[in-house]
């Protein structure tokens, strides 16, 4: 069977499940979209365990990059990127910094006062 081609420039089609070895979940499933990912500069124990997409992630994350920007840069589905990031994180090759905490939400009492003030206008 010959490989399926989208067009001459695109090359062969690689299904997302092939990139993740059929896995849909990883340790990075709960990783926030705006979490910042940075390569730690370590060499993998077995370079054969790292696929081309993961090498590209390590290259891109030499500078801190958000999860969603990685997905966009790689042109891969977010779920696929999370699985790949989970593998890299499990091997200690990347560091993930969660987004900074936002200010706490105002209390219900303050919101009611604002609404009442707006109604009074």
Q: What is the percent of the chain with per-residue pLDDT over 90, rounded to a whole number?
A: 35
Find tokens 């090759």 and name the residue: 93
Per-residue pLDDT tens for 100-119?
777 777 888 988 999 999 99
Does residue 98 register a pLDDT over 70? yes
Q: What is the domain partition of the chain in residue ranges?
A: 16-101
**pLDDT tens profile 50-61:** 888 889 999 999
- Cβ burial, residue 75 (10 Å; 0-12/13-18/19+): exposed
pLDDT value of position 42: 84
Structure-token match 């891969």, residue found? 76
- Residue 17 or residue 42, greater confidence: 42
Chosen CATH of 16-101 out of 1.10.10, 1.10.287, 3.30.200, 3.30.390: 1.10.10
More confident site: 24 or 47 = 47
The per-residue pLDDT for 106 is: 80
> How many Å from the N-terminal Cα to the C-terminal Cα in the chain?
73
pLDDT per residue as tens digits for the range 68-87: 999 999 888 888 888 889 88
């Amino acid at each position: 069977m010959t490989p399926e081609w989208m067009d001459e420039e695109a090359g062969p089609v690689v299904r997302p499940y092939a990139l993740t070895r059929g896995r849909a979940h990883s340790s990075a499933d709960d990783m926030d979209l705006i979490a910042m990912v940075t390569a730690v500069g370590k060499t993998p124990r077995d370079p054969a365990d790292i696929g081309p997409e993961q090498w590209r992630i390590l290259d891109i994350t030499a500078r801190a990059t958000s999860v969603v920007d990685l997905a966009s840069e790689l042109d891969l589905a977010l779920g696929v990127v999370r699985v790949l990031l989970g593998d890299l994180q499990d091997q200690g090759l990347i560091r993930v910094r969660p987004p900074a905490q936002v200010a706490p939400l105002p209390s219900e009492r303050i919101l009611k006062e604002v609404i009442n003030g707006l109604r009074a206008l």
